[in-house]
Amino acid sequence: MLDADVVEWVQHLISPDSPDSLRQGLEHRVGTWREKSRVIKVYDPREIDDLTFETFFKPAPLLFDYLTDHLLANHFFGDEIRLEGFFEDQNNLQVVISQPFISGRHPVWQQLVNVLEAQGLIHEKPGTNKASFWIDGGPVGQVLVTDVHEDNVIVSSSGIAHPIDVHFSFSGRGARINALRLLGLWD
């Protein structure tokens, strides 16, 4: 668990009133950790809000999948996502991760497709806006990368696409663990 002063600092960073707060996604509250040139993301793994009974959309519905998606993103995309820790907020677990701040812009759909295909990914359903791409997983074979839409990719000034919040689809838990083992990410 994170220390109380760290939790207070993280909550300030992601507060909508903070100058360091960035646009939130469906999964995260986000802020800029300027001193480290990183972005802080706070993830609430609940599927249902206890008070409103609102159902949360989660591209990775299980915390295990969410965390291992970051291992896979680090492996396939050379990202540097770190698990910073956990804290409790109103009796609910919150997961804190960070990743490097990437200077660039979010592409329009066709640019996203063109750049990712130039980087070796294959659009799952060409001619559509389906946000899924196949990537060569080496010993694993082809791996489906999902949630690859315009808000989850930044194109840097060098023209490289950096997926910043994508997920990986497997036929089940066993297939995910097997892929992690084959890639040397799981003992």
Whether residue 67 is predicted with pLDDT greater than 90 in this model: the reply is yes
Q: Do 84 and 128 fall into the same domain?
A: no
Nearest residue to 25 (alpha-carbon basis) of 158, 149, 179:
149
The helix/strand/coil state of 158 is coil
Task: Tell me, yes or no, whether 94 and 115 share the same domain.
Answer: no
13-45: per-residue pLDDT in tens?
Answer: 778 787 777 777 667 888 888 888 999 999 888
Strands 153-155 and 161-163, bridge-based pairing: antiparallel
CATH of the domain at 56: 3.30.200
End position of a domain, from candidates 100, 117, 132: 100
Residues 21 and 87 both lie in one domain: yes
The residue ranking higher by pLDDT, 28 or 111, is: 111
Is the residue at 172 inside a domain? yes
Q: What is the per-residue pLDDT across 143-157, written as a single tens digit (0 to 9) for each?
A: 999 999 999 999 999
- Indicate if 54 and 138 belong to the same structural domain: no
Q: Is 187 within the bounds of a domain?
A: no
Say how many domains are in the chain: 2
pLDDT at residue 10 in the model: 81
> Range of 20's domain?
4-100
42-56, 67-81, 87-101, 127-141: lowest mean pLDDT where?
Answer: 42-56
Alpha helices in 15-144, H assignment, sequence order: 63-77, 109-118
One domain, residues 95 and 117 = no
Same domain? For 10 and 78 the reply is yes
pLDDT of residue 50: 63
Residues 57 and 131 in one domain: no
- Coil, helix or strand at residue 114: helix
Q: How far apart are CA 22 and CA 36, in angstroms?
A: 16
Domain for residue 68, yes or no?
yes
Residues 78 and 35 in one domain: yes
Q: In the numeric block, which tokens belong to residue 122?
A: 């294959």
Residue 31 domain flag: yes
Q: Do 73 and 22 sit in the same domain of this protein?
A: yes
Mean predicted confidence (pLDDT) in 119-127 = 97
CA angle 70, 25, 107 (to 5 degrees): 85
* Of the residues 65, 100, 135, the one at which a domain ends: 100
Question: What 8-state DSSP symbol labels residue 108?
Answer: P
Q: Does the pLDDT at position 107 exceed 90?
A: yes
Mean of pLDDT over the chain: 89
Q: Do residues 8 and 71 both lie within one domain?
A: yes
